[in-house]
């Protein structure tokens, strides 16, 4: 009887996924697999040829870059500090500008739909422009230096932060906010006392995450004249001073690792 009951229970237990869902998952899997195999076949010759050529030049390049020139550290430390300052200023300004935009882009807070969709569209447009393109535009407008790099990082960070924080706002518990509205709280009181305490830890974590991104992005922006250590690295490579360039790369690597470690510890303490 026990075996019969177990077999009946197994027959009555519904499947985790219905047959229709299983079929859709299977179709999607094979479509993705087909695209992947086709891409491998299409790019195989180019990949093999490029990889073979890279292997041939690898040892020659390594000989030119090593050993790094330690004597240039005092000269490049100033531009490295400028790069960090660019990231700090851009992240700070972007985090301040993000607050109203994220609130307006949250569906559960902004009930006026035209304003919600306008803000969402504006943020989508910001995210479609790469940071390098922004740097090229601002360098063309304001000339070579730190200011166009900071502006590019502000716009770049604003698109990321506002998107992530607006999604965080949409996932908060709305019961405290509704209770404050019912008790006569105005919009600012509801946001400050009901929304901010729920979003603040995640907001701080995301700001630190974007700061890490900006450290790396500011190095790349220097290649198009946006100032910082990236501009010095581009100049050294252009002058074929490979030991100097290698020392700059090592310094960038160390600084990024240290900043990421500190940022990770801060995020762990906040969340």
Q: Of 252, 210, 249, which is closest to residue 88 (Cα–Cα)?
A: 210
pLDDT for the residue 56: 59
Question: Could you tell me the end-to-end alpha-carbon distance of the chain, in angstroms, rounded to an integer?
Answer: 53
* Chain center to CA of 153: 12
Query: Which top CATH class is 69-270?
Result: mainly alpha
Question: Mean per-residue pLDDT for 254-270?
Answer: 78
Residues of the chain with CATH 1.10.3720.10: 69-270
* Lowest pLDDT segment from 26-30, 119-123, 174-178: 174-178
pLDDT for the residue 146: 77
pLDDT in tens, 193-237: 777 777 777 888 888 888 888 888 877 777 776 667 777 777 777
Task: Report if pTM > 0.75.
Answer: no
What are the b/e assignments for 234-260, b being 16+ CB within 10 Å?
bebeeeebbbbbbbbbebbeebeeebb
Q: Is 16 helix (H, G, I), strand (E, B) or coil?
A: coil
pLDDT for the residue 64: 64
pLDDT for the residue 122: 85
Question: Could you please report the per-residue DSSP string of 206-256?
Answer: HHHHHHHHHHHHHHHHGGGT--SHHHHHHHHHHTT-HHHHHHHHHHHHHHH
């Amino acid at each position: 009887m026990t075996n019969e009951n177990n077999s009946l229970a197994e027959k009555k237990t519904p499947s985790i996924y219905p047959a229709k869902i299983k079929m859709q998952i299977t179709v999607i899997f094979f479509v993705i697999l087909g695209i992947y195999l086709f891409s491998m076949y299409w790019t195989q010759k180019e990949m093999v040829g490029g990889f073979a050529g890279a292997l041939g030049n690898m040892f020659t390049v390594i000989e030119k870059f090593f050993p790094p020139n330690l004597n240039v550290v005092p000269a490049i430390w100033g531009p490295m500090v400028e790069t960090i300052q660019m990231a700090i200023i851009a992240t700070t300004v972007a985090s301040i500008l993000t607050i109203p935009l994220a609130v307006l882009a949250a569906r559960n807070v902004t009930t006026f739909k035209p304003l919600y969709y306008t803000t969402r569209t504006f943020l989508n447009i910001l995210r479609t422009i790469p940071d390098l393109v922004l740097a090229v535009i601002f360098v063309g407008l304001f000339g070579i230096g730190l200011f166009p790099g900071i502006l590019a990082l502000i716009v770049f960070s604003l698109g990321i932060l506002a998107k992530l924080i607006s999604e965080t706002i949409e996932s908060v518990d709305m019961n405290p906010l509704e209770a404050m509205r019912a008790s006569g709280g105005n919009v600012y009181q509801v946001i400050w006392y009901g929304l901010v305490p729920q979003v603040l830890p995640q907001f701080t974590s995301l700001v630190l995450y974007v700061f890490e991104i900006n450290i790396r992005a500011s190095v790349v922006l220097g290649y198009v004249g946006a100032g910082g250590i990236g501009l010095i690295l581009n100049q050294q490579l252009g002058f074929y001073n490979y030991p100097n360039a290698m020392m700059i790369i090592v310094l960038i690597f160390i600084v990024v690792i240290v900043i990421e470690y500190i940022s990770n510890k801060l995020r762990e303490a906040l969340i």
